[in-house]
């Protein structure tokens, strides 16, 4: 073999050490990367308590990608969610024809009854709403609330049971404001109020606090055949906190 130059290069260790045996002893204290493989940090925590919580936190972060400065609050609110009311405990769930106001969308159409039960969840933030058809004939409209199963630790100093927050306040659209009335099918039959239910910036006498939703109720305004379905929300006071930003969100069709 001619015109071939072989160069030996040592990786890691002390390059100033000429003797190979003595150099080999320095590799452990001054290693050099030859090959790198990335593994999930959770793979290094086999048998460590709480590994599943870390795995879930990492998955949530990768899915929602919150800002780093908001990461602690984001993770604090990753608490199991439950629905209220509990299906088995709904009073009159099997009632044949509920004694409720009703909506009708056409001349020959069946009536849709609307439960006006007030659903509230106490000091647990509401995270979702849904409308369900219930009853033996599936002709009773009822609202359900999704809420956190417990209070996040970050809110305990401000909203624990020993903190006085005053009575919650119900807010809803104005009955006279027909600008938001939208027909479901025909103009001469039942409508839905699409007015946004928003808390005013502050209630009179309230400072340095925010209000969050802790309850909801459906209702019907009686205008003859042109009844209008609307919704009210229950707001509870959360002292010592402020809202950094507020966003509208919705589920597209």
Could you give the percent of the chain with pLDDT greater than 90?
32
Domain membership flag for residue 10: no
Angstrom CA distances, 37 to 33, 34, 40, 204, stand at 11, 10, 10, 60
25 within domain boundaries: no
The full DSSP string for 47-98 is T-TTHHHHHHHHHHHHHH---GGGHHHHHHT---EEEES-GGG-TTTT-SS-
At 229, give phi and psi (nearest 5°).
-85, 135
Residue-wise pLDDT for 206-235, tens only, equals 567 888 999 999 999 988 778 999 999 999
Within-domain flag for 55: no
Six-digit token string for 88: 């088995």
- At residue 176, the pLDDT reads 78
pLDDT in tens, 151-160: 999 999 999 9
pLDDT single digits (tens) 161-184 = 999 998 999 999 988 788 899 998
- Most confident residue range from 58-72, 143-157, 162-176, 233-247: 143-157
Judge whether residue 144 has pLDDT over 60. Answer: yes
204 φ, ψ to 5°?
A: -60, 130
pLDDT in tens, 71-81: 888 888 888 89
Question: Tokens at residue 36, please?
Answer: 């790198």
Rounded distance, CA 95 to CA 137, Å? 9
Q: Is residue 143 part of a domain?
A: yes
CB neighbourhood size of 65 (10 A): 10
Q: Does the pLDDT at position 18 exceed 70?
A: yes
Residue 147 within any structural domain of the chain: yes
Query: Number of folded domains in the chain?
Result: 1
- Predicted confidence at residue 48, as pLDDT, reads 84
Determine the pLDDT at residue 127.
92
Give the whole-angstrom CA distance, residue 139 versus residue 137: 5
Mean pLDDT throughout 27-54?
84
Q: What is the CA radius of gyration of the chain?
A: 31
Residue 230 falls inside a structural domain? yes
Per-residue pLDDT at 150: 92
Instruction: Using the predicted structure, report yes or no on whether residue 199 has a pLDDT greater than 80.
Output: no
Bridge partners (DSSP) of residue 81 are 148
The pLDDT mean for the chain works out to 85
Q: If you count DSSP H runs as helices and E runs as strands, how many of each does the chain have, helices first?
A: 4, 11
Tokens of 119: 């659903």
Peptide bond into 85 cis (omega under 30): yes
pLDDT of 192 reads 93
Buried residues in 27-48 as b, exposed as e (16+ CB within 10 A)? eeeeeeeeeeeeeeeeeeeeee
Two structure tokens written together for 159: 């909203």
Contacts of 234 (CB under 8 A, 6+ apart): 118, 120, 168, 169, 170, 213, 214, 215, 216, 217
Instruction: Please indicate, yes or no, if residue 129 is contained in any of the structural domains.
Output: yes
Residue 103 lies in a domain: yes
84-132 tens-digit pLDDT: 998 655 555 554 555 789 888 888 888 899 999 999 999 999 999 999 9
Q: Which domain holds residue 141?
A: 80-239
Angle at 227 between CA 222 and CA 233, to 5 degrees: 80
């Amino acid at each position: 073999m001619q015109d071939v130059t072989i160069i030996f290069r040592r990786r890691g260790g002390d390059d100033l050490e000429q003797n190979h045996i003595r150099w080999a002893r320095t590799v452990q204290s001054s290693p050099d990367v030859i090959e790198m493989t990335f593994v999930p940090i959770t793979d290094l925590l086999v048998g460590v308590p709480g590994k599943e919580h870390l795995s879930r936190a990492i998955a949530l972060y990768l899915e929602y990608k919150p800002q780093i400065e908001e990461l602690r609050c984001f993770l604090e609110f990753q608490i199991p969610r439950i629905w209220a009311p509990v299906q088995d405990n709904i009073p009159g769930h099997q009632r044949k024809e509920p004694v409720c106001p009703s909506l009708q969308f056409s001349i020959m159409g069946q009536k849709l009854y609307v439960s006006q039960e007030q659903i509230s969840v106490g000091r647990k933030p509401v995270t979702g709403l849904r409308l369900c058809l219930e009853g033996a004939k599936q002709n009773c409209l009822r609202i359900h609330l999704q809420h956190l199963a417990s209070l996040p630790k970050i809110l305990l100093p401000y909203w624990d049971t020993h903190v006085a927050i005053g009575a919650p306040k119900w807010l809803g659209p104005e009955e006279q404001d027909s600008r938001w009335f939208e027909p479901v099918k025909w103009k001469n039959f039942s409508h839905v109020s699409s007015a946004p239910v928003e808390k005013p910036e502050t209630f009179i006498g309230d400072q340095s606090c925010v209000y969050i939703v802790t309850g909801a109720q459906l209702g019907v305004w009686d205008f003859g055949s042109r009844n209008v379905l609307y919704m009210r929300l229950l707001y509870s006071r959360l002292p010592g906190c402020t809202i950094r930003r507020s966003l509208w969100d919705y589920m597209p069709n």
